[in-house]
Chain A
Amino acid sequence: MSGTSSLLSWILWMPMIGVLGVLLIPKAKENAIRFWSLINTAATMVLSGVLYMKFDNTIPGMQTALTIKKSWISQFNINYHLAVDGISLPMILLTSLLLFICILASWTVKKQIKGYFALLLFLQSTVYGVFMAMDFFLFYVYWEVMLIPMFFLIGIWGGENREYAAVKFFLYTFFGSILMLVGMVALYFVTGQGEDSFNILAMSGGKFKDLTVDLFGYALPFAKVFFIALFIGFAIKVPVFPFHTWLPHAHVQAPTAISVILAGVLLKMGTYGFLRIAYPIFPSASVYFSDAIAWLGLINVIYGAFCAMAQTDVKKLVAYSSVSHMGFVMLGLAAMTVQGVNGAVLQMFNHGTSTAMMFLLIGILYERSHHRWIVRPDGTKGFGGLYTQLPVYSIVFIIAMFASMGLPGLSGFISEALIFLGIYNRFTTITVIAVLGLLLGAAYLLWMFKRMFFGEVIEENKSYTDMNAREIFYMLPLCVAVIIFGIWPSPLLNMMKASVGKLVSLLAAY
């Protein structure tokens, strides 16, 4: 099966072909650049569809038929090693879908179009790299390279305070990855610098349980020390409290499409890192620290919700709601039960679609209003009575909001319910408090909705036009996804079931 085996490479490099194309098109032909990017992401989406068709739900762990492994740096046993399993496939599909939508949503970008689309496609490729790499070194390279396009996308096309946001985002994430780098190299030497010393899959299974590491004269358990190192690296990305302070800035300053990618895909890379690297490699330490992870997750849920409630900028509100929702993912991860982890992976996907909708909708509104204040700093209302002015927009907004809130029948509900089922036995108190977080979520979203969409129509809102065909077109797939997976989540659950089961049984041994 030589034809299928290079599929992952095609998906990974297709956006780079797109980048080359964008660079070759003259600057003045703006539409050509847009359409080329659109076609390119569409092609990637088709390839991801093929990947979904080829994917065998019954195999736990990596799909051997799709794995690619070539030597890169033989002295260090670094390989170009790509593979996919039930945890990474939903993320790859989500990335393909969101990037296609982001290209459409970026149609109205005016400034330096060529650079914008080139960087966007470059970013897409690096995201695939993170989700596909099974070589720790390769993973790290993609994890870091991704920062460069993000830095420029926020810094050039962002809002007023974009420089600060871009630098903060960059430094924060770089700080986290340094710890990961040290952990990675330590693992390389501990495993004996052999054939599989950078192979994430081969390192899994608690091989480092009994090792110790000498720090300042104390013999500390190796697994715990380096679990913490990896944890901080990933936690900054999620972001887990108290490492979340970069997120509101980055989200608010980033242009719409970048916020969508940031919330939809990039945050998931953090939790994906736990599932792919931290948990399998250090299962004993993961179990040891699961209480702490659960409590941090809970803080995320509650604290994020309260912060969201206090916001007067609607984009910042949604940004903090992301903090809250990623807290649920952390809770599911801490549970280490089949339902909990399934719920977490599902929540990663569902949050990707629902938050993407929220950010896209805010972007659509912003293009009309050029501000995002629910309540302006001077106390006057920024929006009011939008419901009567923009009916289609309001309906889509309601769907997104309810999905985000976790209303039964929409996608968020299933994943949150699964997470609660998964953690209830182990963390009863936490579950009870976390459910309150759901309530808070409903509160801040509904309150926002009330202030923006109901009440008296303020004068300047009257001139706003409803969503146009392009906007409806790109919102549609997300609406469908949110509704379908709310009623019938089994395609997603089936996809991840075997792989999650394998991971959970690995953890259950400790």
Chain B
Amino acid sequence: MALQYLASLSHYVPEAIMCLTMIVLIMIESSYDNNVKGSAKGMLFAAAYIGLGSTLILLLNKIGNDPQIIFTSSLVIDPFSNIAKIVMMIGTGAALYLARVSKDIYEEVKAEYVILAVGILIGGMLLSSANNMLILYIGVETLSILSYVMASLKKNDERSSEAGLKYALYGGVTSGIMLFGMSHIFGSLGTIQFSEIITLMKNLSSNDALILMPAFLMFFAGIGYKIACVPFHMWSPDVYEGAPLPVTNFFSIVPKIAGIVVIVRVTNVFFAGSDSILRESWVVLMMIISALTMTVGNVAAIGQRSVKRMLAYSSISHAGVMLLGVVVIGEIGNRAILFYAITYLFMTTVAFYITSFVQDHYGNDHFERFNGLIKSHPLMAVLMAVVMFSLAGLPPLSGFVAKFNILSAVISKKYYVLAAIAGFNSVISLYYYLKIVKNMIFRESESSEEVSLFDFKSQVIIAAFSVPVVLLGIFWEKILVVANGAKLFIQ
């Protein structure tokens, strides 16, 4: 037994490193003098980056390894979860840099931000590997509790505190509902192990199926809440608005991708094998939820004045698009979701970076603040335009390819109407993405004075993050191979 655990541990090195990093971070933070500014804590950031970097290298090395079930089958390390973890790590790394340079986040809480972000990342990693419901629940809670704190990081700011409280209240309720649902599932199936559930689901009595449906719904409430899909999205505008920009950036990437990944796994565990009435109703339900999520997110984004809020709402609609891949239940859908997550990471990061620098300079991030950016910072304006077009799904950018993959997954199941709804949502989203492009390029800046919004280093980083946005749109064959190999391991 002990040997087995040791053997399991060898597959769990990335997570272990991240946990260690978190502890080291706390120790470093406490060793600093109280007067040191948050962004000056070089050691802290360096330690975080060393932890992230070494884990990233480890994960990249074992990306295609055979799936391993570890810790008495409570966790599964498969290529799918590896890629999801890589995406989340890059997202965290990017968010950390933004937090360091951003003025929207108080100097005295920057260190906390770093520690919390690493903690949330660990929760996300746990979630994406969960192979039984208990681990899943622990993952969700790790992610959530730290997120509540992070949302209220601007502790003197009323809106930020309100955001945190709201987040915590909603989150507490949905966690409870989720736990309740899990207990029902356990009650009717007699196990919490995913590997056993799969076999049980194949020959299910109709009585059990009747109990399971509401149980799944409650179970889904918990995860749906994390990715802010309709009707569990109410919290997100307030949280996204109230939280500092680097937090919003982080929230729209890491917890979202973790949530999507876990939905993919759960759906595949419960419904991949059987072709039951249960599956049918689940598919219909997910169709409605994804269509609503896309539409509500997009429609709400249209009226926003603040770019941050617009991006936050549009991230809801992107989650809806990713849910389309869940509807498909199968390899093709999972692959499309991974591809989408990868491209979404780069696009969102660039968009939030640029918005953050604009906001830091002007004090707010209304659309008008972007006026005339092409004159003062041509490169940044062009990159922002590229990212906006990519988010809207215009070829030959990666956002288009991602949407194309999702659409083809949906259409492979002949859900034409759903595909059309997704398409029209792209048109709606193009409207508000164009608003930024329009302001940046067609309009003159409000003041004629020379402004310098970006330092050189940040420009280089933004440019580096934009490269995949373009390249993945043209040479997506390679990444498709990777995503194709990233099979979900369920048995």
A interface residues with partner B (beta carbon < 8 Å): 72-76, 140-141, 144-145, 147-148, 151-152, 155-156, 162-163, 166-167, 170-171, 174-175, 178-179, 181-182, 185-186, 188-189, 213-216, 225
Is B180 at the interface (CB under 8 A from chain A)? no
Closest to B375 in A: A112
Chain B residues with CB below 8 A from A152, complex form: 441
> A145-B395, A170-B434, A214-B414 in contact; A185/B404 too (CB < 8 A)?
yes
Task: Known A-B contacts: A155-B441, A175-B424, A179-B420. Give 6 more (CB < 8 A).
Answer: A72-B477, A73-B476, A166-B442, A178-B423, A182-B420, A214-B414
Pair B438/A155 contact, Cβ less than 8 Å: yes
Most chain B CB atoms below 10 A, which of A171, A178, A188: A178
Cβ B407 vs Cβ A75 within 8 A: no
Question: How far is it, in angstroms, between the C-alpha of A170 and the C-alpha of B429 when the chains are bound?
Answer: 12
How far is it, in angstroms, between the C-alpha of A470 and the C-alpha of B414 when the chains are bound?
57
**Distance in Å from the Cβ of B385 to the closest Cβ of chain A?**
9
What's the least CB distance linking B419 to chain A, in Å? 5
A174, B430: Cβ atoms closer than 8 Å: yes
Q: Quick one: closest B residue to A187, CB to CB?
A: B411
> How far is B414's CA from A468's CA once the two chains are assembled, in angstroms?
60
Chain B, range 378-431, C-beta contacts under 8 Å to A? 389, 392, 394-396, 400, 404, 407-408, 411-412, 414, 416-417, 419-420, 423-424, 426-427, 430-431
A residues within 8 A CB of B437?
151
Determine the chain B residues whose CB is within 8 A of the CB of A178 once the complex forms. Answer: 420, 423-424, 426-427
Nearest neighbor of B414 in chain A, beta-carbon distance: A214
- 8 example contacts (A-B, Cβ-Cβ < 8 A) are as follows A73-B480, A75-B480, A145-B395, A166-B438, A174-B394, A179-B423, A182-B419, A188-B408
Query: Which residues of chain A have C-beta atoms less than 8 A from B404's C-beta?
Result: 181, 185
Contacts of B442 in A (CB 8 A): 155-156, 162-163, 166
Residues of B within 8 A of A215 (CB): 416-417
B420 contacts A171, C-beta separation under 8 Å: no
> Which A residues touch B394, using CB under 8 A?
144-145, 147-148, 174
Minimal Cβ-Cβ distance residue in A for B411 = A185
The proximity string for B residues 429-451 relative to A, scoring 1 for CB distances below 8 Å and 0 otherwise, is 01100100110011000000000
- Measured between beta carbons, the chain B residues less than 8 angstroms from A155 are 438, 441-442
In whole Å, how far is B473's beta carbon from the nearest beta carbon of chain A?
Answer: 9
B416 and A186: CB pair below 8 A?
yes
The verdict on A170 contacting B423 (CB below 8 Å), with A148-B394, A155-B442 known, is no
Give every chain B residue within 8 A of A181 (Cβ-Cβ): 404, 407, 423
Closest to A178 in B: B423
Cα distance A214–B438 in the bound complex, in angstroms:
40
Among residues of B, the one whose C-beta sits closest to the C-beta of A143 is B395
Bound-complex Cα distance A174 to B407 (A): 16
Query: How far is B408's CA from A41's CA once the two chains are assembled, in angstroms?
Result: 38
Given contacts A141-B395, A156-B441, A213-B416, contact A189 B426 (CB under 8 A): no
- Interface assignment of B74: CB less than 8 Å from any CB of chain A: no
Nearest first, the 3 closest Cβ-Cβ pairs linking A and B are A178-B423, A141-B395, A185-B411
Contact of B427 among A144, A145, A175, A185 (CB under 8 A): A175
| Least CB distance, B428 to chain A, in whole angstroms | 9
Which chain A residue has the least Cβ–Cβ distance from B409?
A: A185
- Within the complex, what minimum Cβ distance (angstroms) separates B22 from chain A? 39
Q: In the complex, are the beta carbons of A144 and B395 less than 8 A apart?
A: yes
CA distance A188 to B410 in the complex (A): 12
Q: A170-B430, A174-B427, A179-B423 are in contact. Are A189 and B411 (CB under 8 A)?
A: yes
Least CB distance, A328 to chain B, in whole angstroms: 30
User: Smallest Cβ distance from B406 to chain A, in angstroms?
Assistant: 10
Q: Are B411 and A186 in contact (CB under 8 A)?
A: yes
Closest chain B residue, CB of each to CB of A170: B434
What is the CB-to-nearest-CB distance from A233 to chain B, in angstroms, rounded to a whole number?
11
When A145-B395, A178-B427, A181-B404 are in contact, do A75 and B434 touch as well, CB less than 8 Å? no
Of all chain A residues, the one with the shortest Cβ separation from B395 is A141
Alpha-carbon separation in the docked complex, A186 to B412 (Å): 8
Do the beta carbons of A167 and B441 come within 8 Å of each other? Answer: no
User: Which residue in chain A gives the minimum CB-CB distance to B473?
Assistant: A141
Given contacts A148-B394, A155-B442, A181-B407, contact A73 B420 (CB under 8 A): no
- Determine whether B376 belongs to the interface, using a CB cutoff of 8 Å to chain A: no
A185:B419 contact, CB within 8 angstroms: yes
B58 to chain A minimum Cβ distance, whole angstroms, is 28
**Chain B nearest Cβ from A263, distance in angstroms:** 23
Bitwise, B155-175 to A at CB < 8 A (1) or not (0) is 000000000000000000000
B274 at the interface (CB under 8 A from A): no
A163, A174, A188, A225: the one contacting B438 at CB < 8 Å is A163
A122 to chain B, nearest CB (A): 12
Q: Are B484 and A75 in contact (CB under 8 A)?
A: yes
